[in-house]
Structure 1
Amino acid sequence: MRTSIATVCLSGTLEEKMRAAASAGFDGIEVFEPDLVVSPSSPEQLRELAAELGLSLDMYQPFRDGVEVAPETFPDSLRRLRAKCELMNRLGTTVLLVCSNVATGVLDDDQAIAEQLRTAGDVADEYGIDLAYEALAWGAHVNDWRHAHRIVELADHPRVGTCLDSFHIFSRGDTVAGVEKCDPDKIFFVQLADAPLLQQDVLSWSRHHRVFPGEGDFDLVDLLGRLHECGYAGPVSLEIFNDSFRQADVYRTAVDGLRSLRWLEDQTADAVRDAGGEPEREPLVLTDLPAPQTPDDWDFVELRTRELGRVTRLLHQLGFSLAGHHRSKDSVQAWTQGPVRIVVSEDPGATVQPTRLAALGFQVADPDLAAYRAERLLARAVDRAQQPDETVLHGVLAPDGTELFFGPHGNHGVPPWLGEFGADQDDAASGALITGVDHVNLAQPWQHYDEAVLFLTSLLNLHPTSSQEVAGPSGLVRSQVMRSEGNTVRIPLNVAPMAAEQGAFTGAAYPEHVALACSDVVAVARRARRRGLAFLPVPRNYYEDLVARFDLDPEFVAELESHGLLYDRDEHGEFLHFYTATLGEVFVEVVERRGGYEGFGAPNAPVRLAAQYREFGG
């Protein structure tokens, strides 16, 4: 599948955008007219740069208010068209995007519009240019793709075809049924954009909230599958208007964009294979990715710190035992309790935060295949030093900088790398109060949240749930849980409020946490308190409110309060949990799920946020 990206998707100058697109691995670009107008480079120089970078210039856009106009103003449209065609000849691109009219459109007659398109096609033919007619969702008279396609058929000109844009289709609540029956010779270009489903005017939605495929709610697999069926074989391009993208690092955004297309291509290839049948014409070539290696379980969590004593004391207070020091890495320890393994690496040179969540390890069926899929999806590999006789752990960097590792299964669930710490792998820890990693909560900068969702979806086959918003002292916190099949791995993503990034936590990044599952949270809390654990304080008002909310036994509530426990309940079961004080950027939560409770104690999050705000001197 030929991949392209509109320069409007990216930040920076046109030259920077071109280099970023080429560096990421795109085949071509759409040149957005405002980018060229402000460039100091001539069209000829840009053409040479594209050739040097190995980029095709797939389309020039947009040409607005060119058709559907009053007959007396149409000659001026043709004058402007000639100027654009001359420029495109200098630039070296042969497809011009012609938008349906939104401002000056007065023609509401398909035959008359088709005649204007046919005349425009004659002009374009003089320059070897194709016109791709696109129905804008807010077009005055032509605003759906079927209508635009009918007009193109009426024009019946070899230089006039359709541009299909997923945003303009799905934002109207339309479907793509019928695309598979279109003549592929009349589909000149395809633009893709995803978007969250929002209740607002379509123009504002389009200009500010488009995202890359896989980061929104549109069924782009259905569209691409139907294009494959009809025999379309041209470029598939991204056209994303997004305020965040225009401020983000241009190279990072380009990589995220190509990753989204590779993931979409893989999803479509699977869907086409499942549907069976072959198109009559040579279709899009859809390339499969290696099969996703969904995590079967957590392998380890790594904390990196310059305050080793404080971190190991916390682990001891929670009931962990030192499994040993790594035989070739003096500054690395492993702490275990039951099936949970926490690696602690000392980082005395840390200058930002004394303690942070550095890495997550997952057990997968085929670590090599997981690493190869990650490579195909443009994930950056972690440079990890290891001795020849040590376990190979493939690692990649998540968008927020967290290291993700793919490890093999071990005997009785104990990974082979643990032997490098001198731990007895046959020593099954029975009767441990901590029974697993319930979830790991990662904080995301607002501008990279969608990227993180796509990253975890495409690499680990995790699925996003509906997002929630929780009010805290420094602003609203948006949270969305990424889950594996069977809920063996759960990663809530929290979007840190802007105030948190601007110092509401006295310069600290928004804190992340590891939630440990247990069989008896009261027993864990009692043991931790005996060992001197600093619990996150819970106000008396919270417990008084519990009685009112749930009509709980006062003695039960008193027990909760005495241990600093929080409580939630739904129709399936109960949830008891507590939080530790925060070390640097990290704190620990211990949870006990009773019955079929599936949530994460969201009603208690404001209590935690307020307490942490006070803890950090807010």
Structure 2
Amino acid sequence: MRRSIATVCLSGSLEEKMDAAAAAGFDGIEVFEPDLVVGELSPEEVRARAARLGLSLDLYQPFRDFEGVDDALLADNLRRAEARFAVMNRLGVDTILVCSNVATATIDSDEVSARQLRTLGDLAASYGVRVAFEALAWGRYVDDYWRAWQIVERADHPAIGTCLDSFHILSRGLDPSRIEQMDPEKIFFVQLADAPALSMDVLSWSRHHRLFPGEGAFDLGAFVAHLDRVGYAGPLSLEVFNDVFRQTDTRRTAEHAYRSLVWLEDQAARVVGEGTRMRTIPEVQAPTGLDYVEVKAEDTSEVETFLEQLGLTFRGQHRTKAVRLWSSGEVRIVLNEQHARDQEPTLAGVGLQVHDAAATAARAAALGVRPVPRRTQAGEQRLTGFAAPSGLEVFVNDDPVAGEPAWVEEFEHGSAEPSDAFGRVDHINLVHTWAEHDEAILFWTSLLGLHAPAGTEVASPQGLVRSQVMRSADGAVRLPLNVAPALTSHYPEHVALTCDDIVAVAAAARERGLPFLRIPANYYDDLAARFGLPEDEVARLRAHDLLYDRDAGGAFLHFYTPRVGRLFFEVVQRIGDYDGYGADNAPVRLAAQARH
């Protein structure tokens, strides 16, 4: 199927939007009428520019408030429509979107609406134009796609068909399976948008909170599968109204949008299975574990001190690079001082283990994910890398056959064996700006198949922190993504390490001189009240600055180091089937860090 995008999805002028859509790989665009009206290009110039860029002009939209009106208003509506058809002829666009009436309808009759659309069809046909009638979720009378389809059938005109919009259908909880009962030749256009699960009026939801496929709660894979099964062969087009995308970089948003459509087509093709006409890309390789965590700085000595105090083992210096390795159990932390002038300690990259790194690289190329090259010398292992939206470098490596990854052998003059203080990396908290957050969710979902459970919000001294965990199905990889308050600069990221006896780890770390993040006495008073813990247990937690949480599955103990640069470490112990992250303790940690 052809891939298209509505210009309303992007920021900038119509020219900039067209350039960005073409560069991202789209086949065509929907021309949003206000973009044309406010621009300086004539319709003929827009048409010529599209031809030069290799873009088709697939739809002109929107035409509002046409049907269900009295005869006097119908005459004026036909006048408005004829003026639009003339502009479409100049543009070279052959399909117009007509939305169900919201403001001026006074007649709730399918027969009247069909008769009026038939009249519009006669006028449209005289200009060589088709009309795609769409049910808006907030239409005055017509707010259901199936009713809109019945009106189109009743109109029975070759120039009258329907437009199916996933948001208008799924936001109202309608069953999209009836699409398979439609005549595919009368489905003139399809618009796609995802959205978060929100409880609000549908108009505001639509105007401000739509998302690209893969970022929200809608099952768009199943939706598009219905279209494939019925034989729809027209464009799949993105129509996403979102306050963030209207302010972000035009080209980057277009690339982000294109990635979502490639991902969605692949998802739908796999739902349909054999016989699908949609394109697939290499199958997702879900990460099986974390290969390493990379910290970068001009001087990593303070981080090294923390790692030694925590109980990790120095494994050596890389034989050709200014890079050092510390490890414990399956935890491997790489400290990189290359090309880091004036840089404070920052989480710069993560390595992930997958079954087939080459397949992941091929999937990334199909999704248009930007690669990250790394210079290697003879005899050094080559890893495949990609840039996450925040700039984090993500490298993938095939699962080790046995023991440690082969690249560990490139480090010399350190201990041959890791310590046993820690088991693995439990989770890595990453930080994004508000403009990067939705793109980041799509990146981790589409490229690596991570899942996104319901998000949360955590109170900090500077405002609410929005948090969304991305995780593999088995929990081997957990990446909480945080959006810091708008006025907060250098919001920290952190790495959490698992252990079996956190009291012993904390006591040993304190003996080695590790400075702990100080937890106030008020927290422990509140803890005793909330959970009814014995006094000796509370005293033990207080003595080691440990935090505590509990749910139906088990308990969670954890402590934090102070920040070093834009980074800190957390040590955790999961007891039983506890599967959270101590979210109720996050405000305590944030306040303590603010005091530091």
Instruction: Give the TM-score taking structure 1 as reference length.
Output: 0.94
Q: 5 Å matches for 1:380-529?
A: 380-422=370-412, 427=416, 429=418, 432-500=420-488, 508-529=489-510
Where 1:299 maps in the other structure, the secondary structure is strand
CA distance in 1, matches of 2:390, 2:555: 32
Task: Provide, for residues 508-555 of structure 1, a one-character-per-residue CA deviation record: whole Å limited to 9, x for no partner.
Answer: 421110000112111211121122212111001111112111222212
Q: In the alignment, what sits opposite 1:61?
A: 61
Separation in 1 of the partners of 2:195 and 2:421?
A: 44
Q: Does 1:595 align with 2:576?
A: yes
Q: Distance in 2 between matches of 1:410 and 1:110?
A: 65
Paired position in structure 2 for 1:271: 271
Q: Could you list the per-position Cα deviations for residues 218-272 of structure 1 after superposition, in whole angstroms to 9, with x for gaps in the alignment? A: 1211211111111001000000110001001111111111111111111111111
Q: What does 1:149-164 align with in structure 2 at a 5 Å threshold?
A: 149-164=149-164
Q: Distance in 2 between the 1:32 and 1:590 partners?
A: 52
The one of 368, 371, 380 equivalent to 1:378 is: 368
Q: Deviations over 1:46-76 (max 9, x none)?
A: 1111111111100000111222221112122
Take 2:417 and 2:251, find their aligned partners in 1: how far apart are those partners?
A: 47
Alignment partners' CA distance in 2, 1:423 and 1:80: 79
1:257 aligns with 2:257: yes
Displacement of 1:320 after TM fit?
1.6
Alignment of 1:93-112 (within 5 A): 93-112=93-112
Please point out which of 559, 566, 572 is paired with 1:585: 566
CA distance in 2, matches of 1:404, 1:557: 40
| Residue 17 (structure 2) pairs with residue 3 (structure 1) | no
For 2:305, the equivalent position in structure 1 comes to: 313
Which amino acid counterpart does residue 198 of structure 2 have in structure 1?
A: L
C-alpha displacement of 1:563: 1.2
Query: In structure 1, how many angstroms separate the alpha carbons of the residues matched to 2:281 and 2:470?
Result: 21
Deviation at 1:349, TM superposition (A): 4.2
Alignment counterpart, residue 363 of structure 1, candidates 333, 341, 353: 353
| Distance in 1 of aligned mates of 2:369 and 2:355 | 20
Q: Distance in 1 between matches of 2:575 and 2:67?
A: 65
Structure 1 segment 190-229 matched on structure 2, within 5 A: 190-229=190-229
Instruction: Tell me the equivalent position of 2:327.
Output: 336
2:289 alignment partner, one of 294, 297, 309: 297
SS of the residue 2:386 aligns to: strand
CA distance in 1 between counterparts of 2:16 and 2:447 reads 28
Whole-Å separation in 1 of the counterparts to 2:413 and 2:135? 65
Give the conservation status (yes or no) of the 8 Å contact 2:194–2:210. yes
Query: Using the alignment, how far apart are the partners of 1:68 and 1:201 within structure 2?
Result: 24
Structure 1: distance between partners of 2:103 and 2:551: 53
What amino acid is aligned across from residue 97 of structure 2 in structure 1? Answer: L
For the residues of structure 1 that align with 2:254 and 2:452, how far apart are their CA atoms?
Answer: 23
Distance 2:149 2:414 in 1: 69
Aligned-partner Cα distance in 2 for 1:538–1:307: 29
Counterpart Cα distance in 2 of 1:365 and 1:601: 31
Residue identity opposite 2:241 in structure 1? F
CA contact (8 A) 2:290 2:352 kept: yes
Contact 2:68 2:107 in 1 (8 A): yes
In structure 1, give the amino acid aligned to 2:315. Answer: A
In 1, Cα distance between the equivalents of 2:452 and 2:594? 28
For residues 154-211 of structure 1, the C-alpha deviation after alignment (integer angstroms, 9 at most, x for no partner) is: 1111111000011111112211121011000110000001111211111111110100
Q: Which amino acid aligns with 1:119?
A: T
Letter in 1 for 2:293: V
What is aligned with 1:610? 591
Which residue number corresponds to residue 511 of structure 2? Answer: 530
Q: Is the 8 A contact 2:317 2:413 kept in 1?
A: no
Opposite residue 350 of structure 2, the aligned amino acid is L
Q: Is the 8 A contact 2:312 2:421 kept in 1?
A: no
Query: What amino acid is aligned across from residue 396 of structure 1 in structure 2?
Result: F
Q: Equivalent residue for 1:505?
A: none
Quick one: which amino acid aligns to residue 76 of structure 1?
Answer: D
2:315 is the counterpart of 1:327: no
Give unmatched runs, 5+ long, in structure 1. 501-507
Q: Which residue of 1 aligns with 2:16?
A: 16
Q: 2: distance between equivalents of 1:67 and 1:550?
A: 62
Shift of 1:420: 1.2
Q: Mean Cα displacement is larger for which, 436-445 or 76-85? A: 76-85
Equivalent residue for 1:571, pick from 533, 547, 552:
552
**CA distance, structure 1, for counterparts of residue 242 and residue 394 of structure 2:** 28
State the 1:383 CA deviation.
2.1
Please state how far the C-alpha of 1:12 moved relative to its aligned partner. 0.4
Specify the code of the residue in structure 2 equivalent to 1:594. Answer: I
Residue 428 (structure 1) shift? 5.2
The Cα shift of 1:603 comes to 1.3
Q: d(CA) in 2 for partners of 1:27 and 1:456?
A: 25
**SS state at 1:485 partner:** coil
Q: Of the candidates 502, 527, 530, which is equivalent to residue 546 of structure 1?
A: 527
Deviations, residues 250-300 of structure 1 (Å, cap 9, x unaligned): 111111111111111111111111xx6x5xxxx7x3111111111111100
**Which residue of 2 is the match for residue 503 of structure 1?**
none
Give the C-alpha shift of residue 470 in structure 1.
Answer: 1.5
User: What secondary structure sits across from 2:70 in the alignment?
Assistant: coil
Contact 2:135 2:148 survives alignment (8 Å):
yes
Give the direction of change, closer, same or farther, for the CA distance of 1:372–1:547 in structure 2 (3 Å limit): same
Two-structure CA RMSD over aligned residues (Å): 1.5
Query: Residue type of the partner of 2:570?
Result: E
Q: Aligned-pair distance for 1:307?
A: 2.7
Equivalent position SS for 2:71: coil
Q: Which residue of 1 aligns with 2:25?
A: 25
Following superposition, the deviation at residue 386 of structure 1 comes to: 0.9
Are the aligned partners of 2:101 and 2:139 in contact in 1 as well (CA < 8 Å)? yes
CA contact (8 A) 2:3 2:27 kept: yes
Secondary structure of the residue that 1:463 maps to in structure 2?
coil
**Distance in 1 between the 2:534 and 2:113 partners?**
74
Shift of 1:107: 2.3
In structure 1, C-alpha distance between the alignment counterparts of 2:306 and 2:417, rounded to whole Å: 23
1:383 partner amino acid: P
Q: In structure 2, how many angstroms separate the alpha carbons of the residues matched to 1:202 and 1:550?
A: 41
Q: Give the TM-score normalised by structure 2.
A: 0.98
Query: For 2:100 and 2:330, how far apart are their aligned partners in 1?
Result: 61
Deviation at residue 499 of structure 1 after TM alignment:
2.9
Q: Which amino acid aligns with 1:336?
A: S
Name the SS of the counterpart of 2:217 in structure 1. coil
The answer for the alignment partner of 2:132 in structure 1 is 132
C-alpha distance in 2 between matches for 1:428 and 1:190: 58
Q: Is the 8 A contact 2:132 2:162 kept in 1?
A: yes
The separation in 2 between residues aligned to 1:14 and 1:417, in whole angstroms, is: 49
Distance in 2 (CA, whole Å) between partners of 1:349 and 1:293 is: 32
The CA distance in 2 between the partners of 1:603 and 1:195, in whole Å, is: 27
Deviation (angstroms), 1:411: 4.4
Distance 2:355 2:197 in 1: 35
Look up the match of 1:142: 142
Distance 1:424 1:356, change over 3 A: closer
The C-alpha deviation readout for 1:386-426, integer Å capped at 9, x for no partner, is 1132111000011111111001222423111111113799x
1:422-441 deviation line (CA, Å, top 9, x unaligned): 3799x554x61111100111
Q: Deviations over 1:459-507 (max 9, x none)?
A: 111111111221111111122211112111111111212232xxxxxxx
Q: Secondary structure at the match of 2:559?
A: strand
